[in-house]
Chain A
């Protein structure tokens, strides 16, 4: 008996020993930089010399001097970035969910050539984000772009559009490219959910001759709702921190700038580490709240199993 617990104790010791290198690295590259970033948010640090800074309290967030309000919370450009990020997340994730569901349903049906479709669908996922941004900005080019050409041939538009430069269109362009790139991921997650469903309820519905559309909304959708929720929150978290695509497709344009692009511009381009860190911290807090929501939804799902 005592030998057993001796063994258990030595196993637990070994476990912590094995965890140590991973935990050390995680603290080094995640925990510490996060704390430093939050701290920098309360200072006037500058990128040129990170070692000399002074504590300024909440000034980066909000400050009242000489009858004027300054700081992130009253900066219209910041709020524009917040709105862009929220808008981008809402629209792109919704479209991706619908498209992803269609693709998942197709992949879940059995027909000859299904393997080809699955392979084809994986290609956008495999293409690096930077490459997809470049590919699409070439396709969306206002003078030589194939998208304008195809749309004009189909009679959808009468003159070429400046997709990435026009303030009214650039966000649509960003969403279009993101939808292309990340729908496969959504489809795969939803497909995994669909494949876990018992097939007998479908059989019953089919024998009863119920309209497949009705079956989808009455049977399938309620059953895979947990999987859809998890996939949506997963994608939403990812969409919320978007940087690469927007940075490459429309660079630092105000019309599409996301919270991540804003924070990096302050940090690196303007060298305002204090102000930029405050923006990073706000982004982190927002994502943190979303994560709590995710955990709660995930917990609910675990309990059901």
Chain B
């Protein structure tokens, strides 16, 4: 009897957790599919599906351009941080040299910087490089948070690879670059996928730099575009459009996360627990 009660309790708790986790996004989808006239009628379940909000998001602002901007920034951030991360992780994970521990600690410290702490310096740098209101300013500034965890996770992973592999390659006269690309890369794929995904999601979601370093509608990334959707007055926000835009930018991330959930979970916990 006690066992059954325990089981029922567990499943009630499970149901509650699922409801709590999923409901807000579910409700955003329901709201986004409502015809504008019905938006302010409270409904817990969808009654009609209309794509009006989705159409008007793209008509009323350069939202397609914003999505393209976000994609360009995120993909370039992933490519650059993986390239720098792999080479650095080889040095930090496979070679013994003085100052390695200190270097790792400094990199870890950078990952905890509040972004605001570098905002004015970064603003000056961006202007000086002539990148204000240019997507490259975002690719560059996002390195501050993608490099540290990319380097950390890849270093941890590199360290775990067997020494014999590398020794055999050295015997055959391979140089470090060949070792990285030919010997380690094939083994590193899982770690690369994990760190790449985390970097992509971080860049896709970033707000503060994107808000500060871009000015015009056509240079904005998606989070900024959504945050700045306004109606004719403060009290007349076009909620239908906002919900449609929110669903559009969230669905790809949620799909990625669901597809790669094991990898992402292991990356998140490796970054934190071992960091």
Picked from A32, A131, A146, A189, the residue with its CB within 8 Å of the CB of B121 is A32
Taking CB atoms, residues of chain B closer than 8 Å to A21 are 84, 87-88
Given known pairs A128-B249, A146-B44, the reply for A244 and B114 (CB within 8 Å) is no
A273 within 8 A of B: yes
A291 to chain B: closest residue by CB: B112
Given known pairs A30-B144, A120-B21, A130-B227, the reply for A37 and B120 (CB within 8 Å) is yes
Instruction: Tell me the bound Cα distance from A102 to B92 in angstroms.
Output: 37
Contact B42 A22 (CB under 8 A): no
Contact B88 A19 (CB under 8 A): yes
Contact B97 A12 (CB under 8 A): yes
Taking CB atoms, residues of chain A closer than 8 Å to B88 are 18-19, 21-23
- Near A by CB (< 8 A), chain B positions 187-209 give 201, 204-205, 207-208
Given known pairs A106-B10, A267-B119, the reply for A117 and B124 (CB within 8 Å) is no
- Near A by CB (< 8 A), chain B positions 95-126 give 95, 97, 103, 105, 107, 109-110, 112-125
Contact B147 A128 (CB under 8 A): no
Contact A120 B17 (CB under 8 A): yes
Contact B223 A130 (CB under 8 A): yes
Residue ranges of A at the interface with B (Cβ–Cβ < 8 Å): 7, 11-12, 14-16, 18-19, 21-23, 25-26, 28-30, 32-37, 40, 45, 47, 50, 102-103, 106, 109, 111, 113, 116-136, 138-139, 141, 143-144, 146, 149, 180, 184-185, 188-189, 192-193, 227, 230-231, 234, 237, 240-241, 243-244, 247-248, 259-260, 263-264, 267-268, 273, 276-277, 280-281, 283-284, 287, 291, 294-295, 298
B165 within 8 A of A: no
Closest beta carbon of chain B to A210's beta carbon, Å? 14
Contact B42 A36 (CB under 8 A): no
Contact A144 B40 (CB under 8 A): yes
Closest beta carbon of chain A to B220's beta carbon, Å? 12
Given known pairs A127-B253, A263-B116, A280-B117, the reply for A29 and B122 (CB within 8 Å) is yes
Contact B42 A149 (CB under 8 A): yes
Taking CB atoms, residues of chain B closer than 8 Å to A295 are 105
Taking CB atoms, residues of chain A closer than 8 Å to B239 are 138, 141, 144
Closest beta carbon of chain B to A134's beta carbon, Å? 5
B58 within 8 A of A: no
Q: A36-B121, A291-B109 are in contact. List 18 more A-B contacts (CB 8 A).
A: A15-B95, A19-B91, A22-B151, A25-B147, A29-B140, A30-B110, A37-B119, A120-B21, A122-B257, A124-B24, A128-B204, A130-B227, A132-B24, A144-B39, A146-B44, A247-B207, A281-B117, A284-B114
Instruction: Tell me the bound Cα distance from A102 to B24 in angstroms.
Output: 20
Instruction: Tell me the bound Cα distance from A176 to B198 in angstroms.
Output: 25
CB 8 Å contact bits of B192-235 with A (1 = contact, 0 = none): 00000000010011011000100000000011101100000000
B181 within 8 A of A: no
Instruction: Tell me the bound Cα distance from A131 to B256 in angstroms.
Output: 17
A189 to chain B: closest residue by CB: B272
A-B CB pair tally, cutoff 8 Å: 269
Taking CB atoms, residues of chain B closer than 8 Å to A281 are 117
Instruction: Tell me the bound Cα distance from A29 to B27 in angstroms.
Output: 39
Given known pairs A126-B201, A131-B246, the reply for A264 and B116 (CB within 8 Å) is yes
Instruction: Tell me the bound Cα distance from A119 to B114 in angstroms.
Output: 30
Instruction: Tell me the bound Cα distance from A21 to B88 in angstroms.
Output: 8
Which of A119, A130, A237 has the most B CB atoms < 10 Å from its CB? Answer: A130
Which of A120, A284, A298 has the most B CB atoms < 10 Å from its CB? Answer: A120
Contact A102 B13 (CB under 8 A): yes
Picked from B87, B122, B147, the residue with its CB within 8 Å of the CB of A18 is B87
Given known pairs A146-B42, A188-B269, the reply for A260 and B14 (CB within 8 Å) is no
Instruction: Tell me the bound Cα distance from A122 to B243 in angstroms.
Output: 20
Contact B121 A35 (CB under 8 A): yes
A279 to chain B: closest residue by CB: B116
Picked from A7, A16, A34, A126, the residue with its CB within 8 Å of the CB of B91 is A16
Contact B17 A122 (CB under 8 A): no
